[in-house]
Amino acid sequence: MNQQNNSKSESNKSENISLDISSPEFYTNREISLLKFQERVLEQAKNEKIPILNRLRFLCISSTNLDEFFEVRVAGLKRQIMLNISLLGADHPDQLTPIQQLTEIREESHKFVEEQYRVLNHVIIPKLQKQSINITRRSKWSTELVSWVKTYFETQLFPILTPIALDPAHPFPKIQNKSLNFIVSLEGEDAFGRASELAVVQAPRALPRIIRVPDEIATAKDEFIFLSSIMHAHIDQLFPGMQVHGCFQFRVTRNSDLFIDDQEDMEDLLHAVEGELLSRKYGDSVRLEVVKNCPEELVKFLKHEFHLGEEDVFRVDGPVNLNRLVNIADSVNRPDLEYRPFTPNNNSDLVKGANIFEEIAKKDTLLHHPFDAFSPIIELLQQAAHDPHVVAIKQTLYRTGSNSVLVDLLMEAARAGKEVTVIIELRARFDEEANIQLANTLQEAGAHVVYGVVGYKTHSKMLLITRREKKSLRHYVHLGTGNYHAGTARLYTDIGLITCNEHIGDDVHRLFMQLTGMSKRKPLQLLLDSPFTLFESLKKFIRREAENAKAGKPARIIAKTNSLTHNKIIQELYKASNAGVKIDLIVRGISCLKPGIEGVSENITVRSIVGRFLEHSRIYYFENDGNKDVWLSSADLMERNLYYRVETCFPVLDQKLKKRVIEEGLEMYLDDNCQAWDLQPDGQYINAKPGKNRRRKAAQEKLMVKSTKR
């Protein structure tokens, strides 16, 4: 019997070795995986344990995310079909053609949108009403509200609305991306004897989509009505003497990706991006949203005007733009219906110390946002701007947000005569316009502004301060996994390291030299960087774990990343799994890897954490035969990050800080049994639940408690 079992085991082992791990069956399509992430976000809107206003916010986030998905991912697939590209590259190991992907996406996204509106109408709105927050439909307006709306329309809307009748002299107007519009069916003749059956009314973006009802006539503590309801009630006033048969909302989503020629001279890149931004508003149509009671002949007309098929039409039971509902959560003063306020730990020696450079010289500092405050980074730059011994400041900026304190400090430093160099990535998606303005502002203050390297996005997060101390110069460095954005530092989980380690300082200085000048690349001492060493180093580390496992040595890999799509990295992980390496992956969004497949990935787990904060930190851990290696990075495990972006990956050298990263950034997330979603071999995600008699564990909640204690 034992001989038979051994023979069977050897046979299975032989079969496993012969498996082709590059086979498409072992990979999930990245676009479908991204849609699955949006589903996990929408699930938060259904979660009874989450306060109702935050559930409303999650619903809006799922809608915003879906908009971007169509603007970029679906638009990209349609473009590939138009260009007759049959297969995607290495970043799509599932090998689905663009047409196959688009077919699956349409099926999944229609179900998703239907579920969004079900949640809105049957879950969110009733829950809000129970809390005396009403969104009042037109059929329920009181007499007082009807009168108020009439005055509001006549004084606030009528003077700025421009109805456009469709006839030979008035062709179908240009419709901006994601704008609110109304198609109106008419009958009769105007003052010139012209007859038109159709008209379009565009709602200016300046108009609020949600209007608060004045307290003196409100029927609830907080009462709101839709702009679209007001338009429907008074649309006939825009067409006096004509008979209005119907008024229906619609919204079109357009291709919003920028197509910048990577061969553009860098001096012209600013103008190239500016030119593309003008065309973004009117890119190719990719999706049409219409209110569900819109007559089919009008839907057919709109499809024809936007060159869309029936599969591109989404008939919705409510406002065509769910995103704007977030204004309700923003405008009501109901702290009892939101997450309890959280104040990040600001007990850092870097803030308390009289001289921040003296404190950094004593020891490295780790900042785990949002549990640690962003203020030490501001303090560092503030002291650098005013310290007479600081001679130069260099920083990369990808996203900063409006009214950035850091930008103000960089300008102060430049005006104070310090050498300030800022590398601004103009092509940070949907922040291009803000970054152009940022570049111009910094240049006016006297800073040197560089736009990066042709063909590569500068995505690394680096701040380098050079200070004269006695007769030598010393580098002080901040490296991070997230952006220099004080707002997102309160909403995203990211980790940053502040150090004056000589080797790290020299490496960061070399990286800036590569980005701003023209020189041959010199090897770095401690840092890994894309597009040069990061991919090969990660591959080497994974293979080292596999060799250690085969030799009976301790071997383990834990990675925390936003996305995992690179097929060569996935194949190395599959090989390591087969060698006996235990691999735990915490992947917030896209995972093309399928865990738990016998003979391929049975030693791999994949989980996604979706909670109050957006998981954004990237951590790569390797057991290394007991000599634990911990790396933090700006890079995800995607082809674009490892080949086509400037990224940094930096080691955590201090043993105390290394232990903290392992505990806070990895182990707590692997123990999470509330906000974790575990990926199954079939591509589905299952929400982790506490077992019987087991304590509830939520990583983000534990980290908030730990932060307040610290």
Please list the active-site residues: 459
Beta strands 472-480; 461-469: pairing state: antiparallel
Task: Report CA 210 to chain centroid distance, whole Å.
Answer: 25
Please enumerate in sequence order all residues whose Cβ is within 8 A of that of 304, keeping only pairs 6 or more positions apart, or say none: none
Quick one: tokens of 206? 């300046």
Q: Which helix (H) or strand (E) holds 622?
A: strand 618-622
Beta strands 365-369; 492-499: pairing state: antiparallel
Q: Which helix (H) or strand (E) holds 210?
A: strand 210-212
Beta strands 365-369; 457-458: pairing state: unpaired
Distance CA 466, CA 477 (A): 9
Q: Which of 239, 190, 437, 226 is nearest to 320 (CA)?
A: 226
How many CA atoms within 13 Å lie on the side-chain side of 648? Answer: 31
Beta strands 614-615; 492-499: pairing state: parallel
**Cα pseudo-dihedral 405, 411, 417, 422, rounded to 10:** 100
Name the β-bridge partners of 530: 647
Angle value at C-alpha 561, between 560 and 563, nearest 5 degrees: 145
- Give me the residue label for tokens 């009807």: 146
SS3 65: helix
3-state secondary structure 159-199: HHCCEEECECCECCCCCCCCCCEEEEEEECECCCCCECCEE
* Other CB atoms within 10 Å distance of the CB of residue 425: 22
Contact between residue 321 and residue 251 where contact means Cβ atoms under 8 Å apart: yes
SS3 366: strand
Distance CA 213, CA 408 (A): 39
Distance CA 454, CA 271 (A): 14
- Give me the residue label for tokens 């304190």: 405
Residues making up the chain, counted from first to last: 710
Distance CA 190, CA 196 (A): 9
Whether residue 531 is preceded by a cis peptide bond, meaning omega within 30 degrees of 0, is yes
Q: Which helix (H) or strand (E) holds 369?
A: strand 365-369
Distance CA 393, CA 380 (A): 11
Contact between residue 482 and residue 369 where contact means Cβ atoms under 8 Å apart: yes
Tell me the CA distances in angstroms from 416 to 383, 405, 419, 424, one per residue in order.
12, 16, 9, 21
**Cα pseudo-dihedral 284, 74, 95, 594, rounded to 10:** 170
DSSP single-letter state for residue 333: -
* Other CB atoms within 10 Å distance of the CB of residue 246: 15
With 0-12 / 13-18 / 19 or more C-beta atoms within 10 angstroms meaning exposed / middle / buried, residue 14 is exposed
Name the β-bridge partners of 303: none
